[in-house]
Amino acid sequence: MTFLPPKYETRLFEQINSTTNDILQWIRVTTRHLSDQPALKREIQRLQEDITRLDQTYMLFSEERTYTRRRGFERARKLVLFRQLIATTKKAFNVLQNLHRMDYEIEHFKGNINKQIIEEVDKTLHTHEKLVLMYLGRIRKKETDPLERITEPNIQDLVDQLMETYDDEESDRMTFLPLASNLLEYHNELIHLKKLLVSYQNKE
């Protein structure tokens, strides 16, 4: 019996990888206040459509027939991993949307808050990129976790510093908090993705 290769698996990962890369690039540009706002608005609309297509391709992959129990088990594990990859990309997209809405306010935060936002967001994006490379097998497997040396984002410290800076300015603090919440959620999804990836690779 001849077994055909998966029809949607490769397409799904290529879509995830492409959409994620676009989002991360725009986040980097936006945190440095270099983005053209009308262009970014158009890109956000396009990225929203790309994410919708991700969900559609994921559904097609999940409905694809399998002909052996082993193949079904392997696909079930990949479905869990791909679902988390998509969930993490969606959190990154939420951060981009918030940065876009708050571009002016962030640029005019007091003290070193703007610089710290760039630093913490960059750490988070770097972690996301490393995890994708880990899935692609481009990070050599070692006895120790290849991601251990990634500097962990310290979003809580960023929030604490903001509270201290804007202690008497409630409206400014409330302006920043949605972004802080987005970053924390994004970081938590990355932690979960890392655990799934490590488990997936250990069982290969």
pLDDT in tens, 132-164: 998 888 776 554 454 555 556 676 777 677 667
Q: What's the average model confidence in pLDDT over 31-39?
A: 88
Residue-level pLDDT at 180? 80
Quick one: how far is CA 198 from the chain centroid? 17
Residue (of 120, 126, 145) closest to 197 by Cα position: 145
Q: Look at residue 93 and tell me whether its pLDDT is greater than 90.
A: yes
**DSSP single-letter state for residue 166:** T
CA distance 117 to 35: 16
pLDDT computed for residue 71 by the predictor? 75
Q: Is the pLDDT of residue 171 over 70?
A: no
Beta-strand runs (E) in the chain: none
- CA dihedral sign, ordered 30, 35, 38, 40: negative
Confidence of residue 114 (pLDDT cuts 50, 70, 90): confident
* Structural domains for the chain: 9-202 (1.20.58)
